[in-house]
Amino acid sequence: MFALAGILPSLRATTVQKLTTADMIAKSTAIVHAKVSGTRTALRGPAIYTYYQLQVIESWKAPASQTLEVAVPGGVANGLRQSVAGAPSLNVGGEYVIFLWTSPSGLTQVIGLSQGLFRVAPDAAGNLQLIRPAISDLLLDASGHVVSDQGVSMSLSDLRAQLQALGARN
């Protein structure tokens, strides 16, 4: 019983609206291609956030900046653990394309939880690919019904073309 005292309640159900790439481009306040250089966790009110420091490689739809910090709900802080279903996880040294949203309070987060995070990896020919695994049982359509997700794989050059077509520039 006392072993559970150091654990904050996890969210039992996390659901978000399913977003297309065009939706994420339109709703994001920034879109970056970045490498994770560090991490820290902290309490923010009753919630724990893991903060990732990013070294920006390429930036779209935002003023150019060399570094950014993105907050992801969940983590371990002050001996307390909090998990949030659907929250993305980044690896120090990992390279990602991230669709970001900054709230009026200044907290920058990945849009749509894991939907807005794409791991960057080269394909067999050396072309950079963006990969997001399927998200299960967390996505809703506009009517509030649970929808399935197949994950996403696209080339970085295809994303650049979509960004240009939709008017998202540095």
Span 14-165 CATH architecture = Beta Barrel (2.40)
SS3 category, 114: helix
* Long-range pairs of 64-69 with CB within 8 A, sequence gap ≥ 24: 64/170, 67/37, 68/30, 68/32, 68/34, 68/100, 68/108, 69/108
> How far apart (Å, rounded) are the C-alpha atoms in residues 140 and 5?
33
Residue 140, pLDDT score? 67
Structure confidence at residue 18 as a pLDDT band (50, 70, 90): confident
Nearest of 62, 1, 75 to residue 33 by alpha carbon? 62
Structure confidence at residue 3 as a pLDDT band (50, 70, 90): very low
Q: What pLDDT, in 10s, does the model give residues 59-91?
A: 998 766 899 999 999 999 989 899 888 889 999
Distances (CA, A) of 167 to 161, 163, 164: 10, 6, 5
Question: What are the boundaries of each domain within the chain?
Answer: 14-165
Q: What pLDDT, in 10s, does the model give residues 119-161?
A: 999 999 999 999 998 876 666 666 777 767 778 899 999 999 9
Q: Is the pLDDT of residue 24 over 60?
A: yes
**Burial letters for 28-38: b for 16+ Cβ neighbours within 10 Å, e otherwise?**
bebbbbbbbee
Alpha helices in 7-155 (DSSP H): 21-27
Average confidence score pLDDT of the chain: 84
- Reduced to 3 DSSP states, what percent helix, strand and coil does the chain have, rounded to the nearest 5? 15, 45, 40
pTM of the model: 0.83
